[in-house]
Amino acid sequence: MRLIERKQYLDKMINVIGTPDIKVLTGVRRSGKSKLLEAFKAYVQKNIADAHIIHINFNLSKYDDLKEYKALNEYIENNYVEGKENFVLIDEIQMCENFELCINNLHATEMYDIYITGSNAFLLSSDLATLFTGRTFEIKVYPFSFAEYVHYFGLTDKYTAFDNYMLEGGMSGSYLYKEQEDKYDYIENVFDTLILRDICQKYHIRNPALMDRISQFLMDNVSNLTSARSITDTLTSNKDQINHKTVGNYLNYLCNAFAFYKLRRYDIKGKRYLASNDKYYLSDHTFRYAKLGTKNMDNGRVIENIVAMELLRRGYEVYVGVLYQKEIDFVALKRNEKIYIQVSDNITHPDTFRREVEPLLKIKDAYPKVVIARTRNSEYQYEGVRIFDVADWLLNK
């Protein structure tokens, strides 16, 4: 498989070399965490003269004897080199029983620079503070962005490339397959493994089929306002025996494992968060095609999903905006920066254009207001609202 440098993630890892934090790479299955760890190893070997690297990949059978925390700890301590900068890199850490006891001990010695990856369901953002007694630095890894997709394939026609990206997505392991159906078979297998093996194993779920139906409901309703109660009502009408508390738990499990990302609603005028109904977006939009098929492509929802994930990838806090009972697709916040964003597939029809722009024109503050759509034209403005083609916006940060 061809590799590309994932600079934004690698730079984050490089920038925290020598800090006392436990560096943790998190993200959905097959998003490239292991390859990123290998790229970081290569950087350290090339650029740090006195580096000594202890690299353990629990996917390899030669490390089977270390799948118990005392054995792992002993192996690392025995491989420590005095007078060197000792790096510990561990891939799939969750395969070692009670791994946190080993990591906490190594961290307490202040002798190692520690970097770890793990299965998404077993190394959750929400668990890091309780697993590790030392401070953790989380590096969130996402599937390939459109820019990475273009770079990987060396594409020059950005508009055609975006049409292809909509179909193929960012799960780079699927790029090895020639036929689209084979690509989707791979992507479906990744998602099923995420649910059936990881989530169900961690949370001792006895009805994985129900979890699968909930995930398919979310896929089918990407960009729709959703609540645990609305899902419960739909499932019980189909004779599933379930209550909204259980559904709420399952939604949290899916988000904890980075399968979905939940965006809360934000009242722009009242400057407050709204309690009921959230939106859920897939970590990669092609999970939807792989699980539900491509008969109903619904390009507008898919583009909205792509934009949502790109905003998260760029480090924004992202909310669904509400103003005078009108919805703004995204309110993106980062420090003193705020952007209001509407997303559409096609805005060539005057009624569609007006529907997308009018909610933005009602916002009276001076923060940027943007419409992102498949225009296939250069950026232009309408009464202060910037109109971008989605491919241009994704490629230009």
Dump pLDDT digits (tens) for 121-140: 667 666 787 888 878 999 99
CATH number of the domain bearing residue 117: 3.40.50.300
- Residues 366 and 267 reside in one and the same domain: yes
pLDDT value of position 275: 67
- Residues 169 and 304 reside in one and the same domain: yes
How far apart CA 396 and CA 379 sit, in angstroms, is 11
- Residues 350 and 376 reside in one and the same domain: yes
- Residues 131 and 157 reside in one and the same domain: no
- Residues 67 and 114 reside in one and the same domain: yes
Per-residue pLDDT tens over the stretch 374-390: 999 999 999 999 999 99
- Residues 154 and 27 reside in one and the same domain: no
- Residues 240 and 385 reside in one and the same domain: yes
pLDDT value of position 195: 83
pLDDT value of position 240: 66
287: nearest Cα among 198, 219, 194, 226: 219
Tell me the residue range of the domain where 258 lies.
Answer: 146-395
48: nearest Cα among 73, 23, 17: 17
Per-residue pLDDT tens over the stretch 94-110: 889 999 999 999 999 99
Percent above pLDDT 90 for the chain: 73
- When divided into structural domains, the chain yields a total of 2
How far apart CA 356 and CA 392 sit, in angstroms, is 19
Number of H helices, E strands in the chain: 16, 13
Residue type, 11: D
pLDDT value of position 207: 85
- Residues 105 and 179 reside in one and the same domain: no
pLDDT value of position 121: 66
pLDDT value of position 128: 80
- Residues 102 and 237 reside in one and the same domain: no
Positions of the chain with pLDDT under 50: none
Q: What pTM value is reported for the model?
A: 0.92
113-117 and 85-91 beta bridge pairing: parallel
Residue type, 390: V
- Residues 156 and 55 reside in one and the same domain: no
320: nearest Cα among 342, 352, 347: 342
